Amino acid sequence: MTDINSAKKSIEENGFLNIEIDPTIDLFAEIEKLKKEKNAIILAHYYQEPDIQDVADYIGDSLGLAQQAEKTKADIIVFAGVHFMAETAKILNPSKKVLLPDLKAGCSLSDSAPPALFKLFKDKHPGHKVITYINCSAGIKALSDIICTSSNAQKIVESLPADQPIIFAPDKNLGAYINKQTGRNMVLWNGACMVHEIFSLEKITKLKIRHPHAKVIAHPECEEAVLNVADFIGSTTGLLNFTKKDTATAYIVATETGILHQMQKANPGKTFIPAPPNNSCACNDCPHMKLNTLEKLYLCLKYEMPEIIMDEDLRLAAKKPIDEMLKISAQYGL
Ligand code: 13P
Ligand code: SF4
């Protein structure tokens, strides 16, 4: 199976290397060994499963991960996150080998904005600057003026003159939240995150009655009705930092459940209750993020595939608005 052709076939068919692993090996120790041997770094998003977070060299939100990817001196970046995140790492640091344990780890927000349709939308709004949430494909980034993440969106929007017409894409919930915060009237693309739009206000309200002292903390990708009852709204890093500084002892957390691992580690005496979805499924787990497993990560690092490969013209076009975001973020010390 380590034969290069069958490995490539396995990736084409499954999106990942489907190779049996000896069940007796210590994956944590093997991953540490491989990282040293290959001068590799593991960058993980907070929504990854706890085992992956525990082997990561850096865990962060989308902005922090992009900043780390840009400055790393490692030869290999293993990106434990979804495709647009690994692609952003490659855009920013093209001389590195960027690996993604499962190439099928996509994103509903990114999928909601196909470049050809977005181009038509953009053409219908002449004179508008395009601010795009980082959760999008390189094709969409190439059609944008500035990229933003949930932790810098407000500052990025405010960096443009108040009378500048703006298109905000692809997340309508984050866009509506920023419109409310800034008093702007940005034109919104109609996309949403399948995880964050599933939270049930009714169930959160019931939880709040049962835990009256618990604070509701929410990611701005949530719908307005949920954001309206939140005591604090922020990116994943923002939410985590809030729980470290705040004096409450319990929180109802309206974002993907992966973040609870770091919240619990940082605050051993506090209680974290995942906000429930509006049905009985585990829909507050992102099915894309959770495609990555420790086993796939180990194989990806060992065989150095699947790898993110990009067209150079597209990479350069997509890099411009990301550079703009990083420049503005640095000005604000973000
Ligand atoms: P942040 O990493 O900016 O908090 O965004 C969360 C998210 O949904 C990433 O896919
Ligand atoms: Fe995309 Fe939502 Fe999953 Fe983040 S949590 S990767 S926005 S689908």
Kindly indicate the confidence band of residue 6, based on its pLDDT and cuts at 50, 70 and 90. Answer: confident
CATH code of domain 4-106+288-309: 3.40.50.10800
- Residue whose CA is at the smallest distance from ligand 2 atom 7: 193
Look at residue 2 in the predicted model and tell me its pLDDT: 59
CATH class of 201-274: alpha beta
Atom of ligand 1 nearest to the CA of 236: 4
Place of tokens 């500084």: 245
Per-residue pLDDT tens digits for 74-97: 999 999 999 999 999 999 999 999
Cα 142 to ligand 1 centroid, rounded to whole Å: 20
Ligand 1 site-directed mutation target among 61, 68, 111, 284, most atoms within 8 Å of CB: 61
The response to whether residue 194 sits with its C-beta less than 6 Å from ligand 2 reads yes
Kindly indicate the confidence band of residue 277, based on its pLDDT and cuts at 50, 70 and 90. Answer: confident
Kindly indicate the confidence band of residue 16, based on its pLDDT and cuts at 50, 70 and 90. Answer: very high
Per-residue pLDDT tens digits for 174-197: 999 999 999 999 999 999 999 999
Q: Is the confidence at residue 33, as pLDDT, over 90?
A: yes
Enter the pTM of the model: 0.96
Strands, DSSP E only, in 206-248?
Answer: 215-218, 232-233
Share of the chain above pLDDT 90, in %: 93
Look at residue 7 in the predicted model and tell me its pLDDT: 81
Q: Is the confidence at residue 1, as pLDDT, over 90?
A: no
- Residue whose CA is at the smallest distance from ligand 2 atom 1: 107
Domain boundaries, the chain: 4-106+288-309, 109-192+315-331, 201-274
Q: Reply yes or no on domain 109-192+315-331 having CATH 3.40.50.10800.
A: yes
Kindly indicate the confidence band of residue 269, based on its pLDDT and cuts at 50, 70 and 90. Answer: very high
Per-residue pLDDT tens digits for 216-225: 999 999 999 9
The response to whether residue 34 sits with its C-beta less than 6 Å from ligand 2 reads no
3-state SS, one letter per residue, for 160-207: CCCCCCEEEECEHHHHHHHHHHHCCCCEECCECCCCHHHECHHHHHHH
Per-residue pLDDT tens digits for 108-164: 999 999 999 999 999 999 999 999 999 999 999 999 999 999 999 999 999 999 999
Strands, DSSP E only, in the chain?
Answer: 40-45, 58-60, 76-80, 97-99, 129-133, 146-148, 166-169, 187-188, 215-218, 232-233, 250-254, 271-274
Structure tokens given for 209: 């009655």
Kindly indicate the confidence band of residue 5, based on its pLDDT and cuts at 50, 70 and 90. Answer: confident
Between 27 and 6, the higher pLDDT residue: 27
Q: For the chain, give the mean pLDDT.
A: 96
Q: Is the confidence at residue 166, as pLDDT, over 90?
A: yes
Q: What is the distance between the alpha carbons of residues 6 and 211, in angstroms, rounded to a whole number?
A: 54
